Copies of this chain bind each other. A is one copy, B any other.
Amino acid sequence: MPVSKRMSTIPPSPIRKLVPFSDAAKKRGIKVYHINIGQPDVETPPKAFEVLRSFKEKVLSYAPSNGIPELREAMAGYFSGIGYDVNEKDIMVTNGGSEAIYFAFMVSLDTGDEVLIPEPYYANYNGFAKMAGVKIKPLTTTVENGFHLPSEEEMEEAVTENTRAILICSPNNPTGTVHTREDMEKVFRLAEDYNLTVIGDEVYNEFVYDGREHSSVMHFKENAQRVILIDSVSKRYSACGARIGAMITKNREFIDAAMVLAQARLCPPTIDQVLSVALYETGPDYLDEARREYKKRRDVVFEELGLIEGVTFHKPAGAFYTVVRLPIENAEDFARWLLESFSHEGETVMVAPASGFYATPGKGKNEIRIAYVLKEEDMRRSIQLLGLALEKYRNR
């Protein structure tokens, strides 16, 4: 029985293609530092696990399709606390930020419509676009420009008669770039001129460093009807496995339409919703500490990157990723070589080739994404290994 045509046309992820090589390296006894994925090692707030232990129900029943009221209230409380106008009615609780992105595409775009997204971008947007039958039109950004938005003229050129939305991920995965107020003003001018929905994927909102300010889509209150905010507990609270996120909007039609999708899949997991109430009620101390920790790691990464000849990078102000250009031709080949043919004192490092984060063919071929999700000394060692490997690879 053949698979559907639509599923046979999706290219395998360049990151996924490397997993067998990493498994094989480990089997040979080599220690692999994983700076290729965004799985933080920061502890989840312990309160979340206390909630688990005191869960008292005897029947693990369905929750409401849009989320339990306690969670929607806790989310509204968190967002009010950082100055956003969000109340529980504006919130659709989802299976992670992932489902929130899918819902946002489904309610704001029709089959064949286009959404503008600055590239490089989070590779899973491709999957959701595929599922929703919409087309991603990339707006290319470059390391030389710190991965900030292209000019207004360039952005306007990308608009076609099918463009219905623009998605801005800030702080950005994979670049770490924090889009400035000026960047966001450009986005909203474009949105007003062409009547676009603005989707803000801001799941890294708490991870902004160097005294910089996070400019949210929620700050553009006069545009509230065209704004959808994507949220998630995964990164902020180091709770990736809870699979709890939210689609947030003041646009009632969007929420009502999302409810139809939400009802089909019944509800997000009940226990994880109960546990997430405790997450959204976590005090600022936890977030301050996490922010300090990531900043320290970032500084170590860039200290070490600065010692490697020939790499091009910008030091980003947010999230826990960066995209770096290497003095080689093919980062996919290099990433594989790192796992297959390189080791130093029994250790190597796994990186994500950046080509998977670009939609434009050929882009990012000599770039990698680094996730600084390991503790300080491991991050230092990882980048040192990268430097040692680059030298050996270029002279092989």
Contacts and interface: CB of A to CB of B under 8 A. Distances in A.
A124 B266 CA distance: 9
Contacts of A110: 4-6
Nearest to A257: B7
Nearest to A279: B60
A39 to B, nearest CB: 6
Across chains A and B, which 7 residue pairs bring their CB atoms closest together, nearest first?
A127-B264, A241-B270, A7-B257, A3-B253, A60-B241, A98-B265, A1-B226
B269 A106 contact: no
Interface in A192-242: 195, 197, 225-226, 238-242
Contacts of A131: 106, 131, 261, 264
Contacts of A63: 241
A293 to B, nearest CB: 13
A44 B60 contact: yes
Given A39-B61, A59-B43, A242 B260 contact: no
Interface of A: 1-8, 10, 12-13, 16, 39-44, 46, 48-49, 52-53, 55, 58-63, 95-96, 98-99, 102, 106-111, 113, 124, 126-128, 130-131, 133, 164, 195, 197, 225-226, 238-243, 251, 253-254, 256-257, 260-261, 263-272, 275
Contacts of A253: 1-3
15 contacts: A1-B226, A1-B254, A4-B107, A4-B109, A6-B106, A7-B106, A12-B260, A41-B59, A43-B58, A60-B241, A61-B241, A127-B260, A133-B133, A241-B267, A269-B271
A95 B59 contact: no
Given A7-B106, A108-B4, A239 B60 contact: yes
A69 to B, nearest CB: 13
Contact of A1 (B60, B242, B251): B251
Contact of A271 (B10, B52, B113): B52
A268 B60 CA distance: 16
Given A53-B52, A60-B48, A264 B3 contact: no
B16 A241 contact: no
A270 B95 CA distance: 12
A186 B8 CA distance: 30
A88 B214 CA distance: 45
B44 A263 contact: no
Q: Which of A1, A7, A95, A225 has the most CB of B within 10 A?
A: A1
A52 B271 CA distance: 10
A269 B242 contact: yes
A256 B13 CA distance: 13
Given A265-B95, A270-B242, A260 B59 contact: no
A127 B263 contact: yes
A1 B238 contact: no
A271 B241 contact: yes
Contacts of A2: 253
A263 B15 CA distance: 11
Nearest to A103: B7
B16 A62 contact: no
A264 B60 contact: no
